[in-house]
Amino acid sequence: MTHTQATNPTLKRAMLAAIAAALLSLMASLAHAQAAYPTPEAAAQALTDAIASNDEAALSKVLGRDHARYVPTDNIGEQDIYQYLGS
């Protein structure tokens, strides 16, 4: 057995391990991404439900981890929420 033959399986295993680690990282980041909805109406309803119940986890599910970027809660008052829900 030559040195090249000995390293090829080792190199292949290392490459497979690297690819597997990259895929696991990708899957983990996708798990924290926003949800997909079958229709725009379903997405709008999920967003409305999350706002109505003041549910941070639901907002994160609908809009993704950085939902505060889209729904800045620091300057939204109760009246703003009621106005949105009433429209």
Looking at every residue in the chain, the average pLDDT score rounds to 74
- Residue 47 near residue 70 (C-beta atoms within 8 A): no
CA 25 to CA 4: how far, in whole Å? 31
Ranked by mean pLDDT, which of 5-19, 42-56, 57-71 comes out on top? 42-56
Residue ranges covered by each domain of the chain? 1-31, 34-87
Q: Which residue has the higher pLDDT, 55 or 28?
A: 55
pTM check: above 0.75: no
Per cent of the chain over pLDDT 90 is: 7
pLDDT at site 30: 47
Tens digit of pLDDT for each residue in 27-41? 544 445 678 899 989
The secondary structure of 45-58, three-state, reads HHHHHHHHCCCHHH
The Cβ of residue 80 has, within 10 Å, a number of other Cβ atoms equal to 11
Q: What is the pLDDT of residue 33?
A: 60
